[in-house]
Amino acid sequence: MKKVIVITSSLRPGSNSDALAEAFAQGAAEAGHNVETISLKGKDLRFCKGCLACQKTRKCAIADDAPAIVQKMHGADAIAFATPIYYYELSGQLKTLLDRANPLFGGDYRFRDIYLLTSAADEEARTPERAINGLGGWIECFEKARLAGTVFAGGVNEAGEIEDHPALKEAYEMGKNI
């Protein structure tokens, strides 16, 4: 049994990327893994100040919701990030969280497998490329981690449009096969 954290970054209620996160989490739970889903909705996430105090203390100097989330990331075997695609990139709130995960850099983190679940109004196959590259840059800083899989749901804009999209089954199967 693995400890799996699913972090969803959409701020919209009933979002399409939330649906991908739920499908992934359901698959992982049904496979017997310990799954926790964390939504960034309503979280107080401030920008990294670049003070680098975390590199000495392994704790962020900013008192908001990020340190608790980062601590859960630290202890997870696998992390799935779900994000809407904004201007062909990760959502700002997810990027802020990734920046705030700097206390993990150079530390003894547990995670190995990272997954990215994306949704967008644009349905071109290349739509998630920059988001994948953005997350890839973060993953490169963690030599024991790898991008283990991605799912893209294109052609979904309004909340709930993803309902019959094949990406939901793909996210479920990916979670089930961790």
Rounded distance, CA 151 to CA 70, Å? 23
Tokens of 13: 């209620």
Interval 164-174 mean pLDDT: 98
pLDDT at 150 over 90: yes
Tokens 């993803």 correspond to what residue? 162
pLDDT averaged over every residue in the chain: 96
* Structural domains of the chain ordered from first start: 3-176 (3.40.50.360)
- CA dist 53 → 68, 69, 76, 105 (Å): 17, 18, 23, 12
Angle, vertex CA 23, rays to CA 17 and CA 26, nearest 5: 140
Rounded distance, CA 46 to CA 63, Å? 9
pLDDT at 107 over 90: no
Interval 74-98 mean pLDDT: 97
Q: What is the pLDDT of residue 26?
A: 98
H or E element in which residue 98 lies:
helix 92-100
Confidence tier at 81 by pLDDT (50, 70, 90): very high
The total of other beta-carbon atoms located within 10 Å of residue 126's CB is 10
Confidence tier at 89 by pLDDT (50, 70, 90): very high
- CA dist 114 → 84, 97, 123, 176 (Å): 17, 15, 23, 14
Confidence tier at 106 by pLDDT (50, 70, 90): confident
